[in-house]
A and B are shown apart, each in its own frame.
Chain A
Amino acid sequence: MTVQRVKFYQTGSFAVGNRLLDPAQRSTQARMDRANSITSGHRACQGCGEALAARYVLDAASRATDGQLVVVNATGCLEVFSTPYPESAWRVPWLHSLFGNAPAVASGVAAALRARGRTEIRVIGQGGDGGTVDIGFGALSGMFERNDDVLYVCYDNQAYMNTGVQRSGATPPAARTATTPAVGPQPGNTFGQGKSAPLVAMAHEIPYVATATVAGLRDLEAKVFRAMQLRGARYLHVLVPCPLGWGSGTGETIRLGRLAVETGLFPVFEAERGEVVAVTPIRRRLPVEEYLRPQRRYAHLFDPAVRSDVIERLQAMADRNVRRFHLEGKR
């Protein structure tokens, strides 16, 4: 690998940290020979968390497998913004079939590689939260249950973004979407609905389940590396803020990812064979309000009047996560 030497005057800067590390430990993105699995020039919105996460996931996976990778993509923003014919942003072998079948298509690729004696080539399936936790959930469960040799990555922006921000089974309570409008006595998405795909994945007792966010890109890379060391069905659920759907500033993507973690609303953990083996502890616990305020999808909780009743319910959800996943433990 080509190594960039750290110049002395840089050592005081925050960004230099990566370059002080041993070359093998540095972020894949810092390497001159990174795969650029998804190249620039695609049509994602500015500040798209999904595009960022996909790039880190696939570049890390490429590095972990020495470029021996095939990617299967569900319909959704990631597919649409990356491949408007005759353009393609992908520099990995890439297949898009349908919205609800990416896990099964990935299983088929894995089966073909096994039959052809090419198991050094690894398979990644990927899709949005709608493609994963709703329409593709049967196929995902089948892939898990058969323990097919696939890493499936869900880029969770908490709604059907590609079709214009409609509610999915991963949309959080109170969030406004085009099909859970901020009107009536219970504005936004209903409480008591939705599912945790990572917990359901764990119930399949597959080798590896992990969550991550775009706020922890090194953590995300490390989890991809860990996943690629294992064989069998693996699941990675990445929270990816979406400026368009969340009504957030295009420069807020990383900060919102961090706030989702630090409020306790999005627990970051790893599980092996159905048991949690590691959690990312919250360094400095914040009230959920700090996460909600910058997002227009929650604007109805603050204007015209502050809906403390609703905010308290969301706070209770965060508190429960902290207790359940022991997020306030020691580092």
Chain B
Amino acid sequence: MLSQIEGSRAVAEAVARCRPQVICAYPISPQTHIVEALSALVKSGRLTGCEYVNVESEFAAMSVAIGASAAGARAYTATASQGLLYMVEALYNAAGLGLPIVMTVANRAIGAPINIWNDHSDTMSQRDSGWIQLYAESNQDAVDLHVLAFRLAEELSTPVMVCMDGFVLTHAVEPVDLPDPSQVDAFLPALRPRQVLDPAEPVSIGAMVGPEAFTEVRYLAHLTQLRALDRIPVLARELRDVLGRGGTGLVDPYRCEDAETVVVALGSVLGTLKDTVDELRAEGVAVGVLGVTTFRPFPADALREALRRARRVVVLERAFAVGVGGVVSADIAAAMAGTPQRHYTVVAGLGGRPVTRDSLRSMIADAAADQLAPLTFLDLDHDLVRQATGGQP
């Protein structure tokens, strides 16, 4: 049943229906509404069997989740931006220990300069942390991906972050079809942890591993992620059967079949992009969009397949690797190496700057004419830059 609901509250409802047993929370915009809604669900008794822990930092949030998960509880937390960076050490630790924690990241820029608005700098900085990363295009997507995330995390015993654009999604009120508890129960079995701290069967978790086995441990983590590439489409299909909606899990091609130019992007900007492509298609421009839902593990085969026929690929980046350029582009270029395809990186929408249809239209037109610079900053205010550089371009 569709309800008119804020993205954050919808996600909180979805998470609650996944029956987490420990939720830990530390506030940061734009994640706050999610954890507020969850605290109300626990406190009011609507979500039972769940401990809600108000921690003193994001580092503690992830650490409490680590302890809870190792002690056999389904653990959840949410954060964004500075908070994600504040928990980085624990983030790698959770992944290294193979703990099936699920976390929402309400994507937000990283300071300085401090900025609370949306881009993907936070999660992109953690792409190598060992966490699976799923990116939501819409609030409906965000809701369904959380259900998928718990199942995936627990099946593979590895943590999963669901990335949803801060404010653009978290604070948007739109119709969302919340999964019925019975649907979630049908899809998500009770947690059966791979290993649990239990006096009846004592285990030592988190030993010191030296050069003789460390590489193997990392290799095994890589194998787990590769297995996720196989499992995500299967689980996404199963979830689709239960819910009667949803994507295919890895990538989401839109009007790509005969497209000469394909724009690759992640997250909510895909909505604007699809509208723009519809307009351009009506005008006869052979353009398509490829949404990336799973960014870690990197779905290289699925991307290669989807981009095979394109003459040029524009990667629309909501983050930026200072001193290099694109983050997603680098992976895509590696996946497409050896093809004659042209590749463009467009950095757009940093720190919440709107990515407008007009800008996208001119970007695609420039690309189609092969007039786009290899690295472009969409809507860069050249006057402002000149002021700061004393006239330099």
Binding site for B on A (CB under 8 A): 67-70, 72-73, 79-80, 83-88, 90-98, 100-101, 104-116, 121, 138-139, 141-142, 145-146
Contact = CB atoms under 8 A, between A and B. Distances in A.
Nearest to B61: A104
B56 A97 contact: no
B56 A111 contact: no
Interface of B: 21-22, 24, 49-51, 53-57, 59-60, 63-73, 75, 89-90, 93, 97, 197-199, 201-210, 213
Contacts of A84: 207-208, 210
Contacts of B53: 107-108, 111, 146
Contact of A88 (B51, B66, B207, B210): B207
A95 B90 contact: no
A108 B203 contact: no
Contact of B71 (A70, A96, A98): A70
A95 B197 contact: yes
B207 A83 contact: yes
User: Main SS of chain A's interface residues?
Assistant: mixed
A116 B93 CA distance: 24
B346 to A, nearest CB: 38
A18 B71 CA distance: 37
A84 B24 CA distance: 31
B207 A108 contact: no
B235 to A, nearest CB: 25
A72 B209 CA distance: 18
Nearest to A87: B207
Contacts of A80: 208
Given A84-B207, A98-B93, A69 B199 contact: yes
A72 B66 CA distance: 11
B66 A115 contact: no
B28 to A, nearest CB: 16
B55 A92 contact: no
A68 B199 CA distance: 6
Given A95-B67, A104-B59, A104-B63, A112 B73 contact: yes
Given A115-B21, A115-B51, A108 B63 contact: yes
B93 A112 contact: no
25 contacts: A79-B206, A83-B207, A84-B210, A85-B213, A90-B202, A92-B202, A93-B203, A97-B66, A98-B93, A100-B59, A101-B90, A105-B64, A105-B70, A107-B55, A108-B65, A108-B66, A108-B68, A108-B75, A109-B67, A111-B67, A112-B75, A116-B71, A139-B59, A139-B63, A141-B56
A141 B56 CA distance: 9
B22 A108 contact: yes
Given A70-B197, A94-B205, A115-B22, A105 B72 contact: no
Contact of A142 (B56, B66, B203): B56
Given A109-B71, A139-B59, A83 B22 contact: no
Nearest to A83: B207
A104 B60 contact: yes
Contacts of B207: 83-88, 96
B70 A109 contact: yes
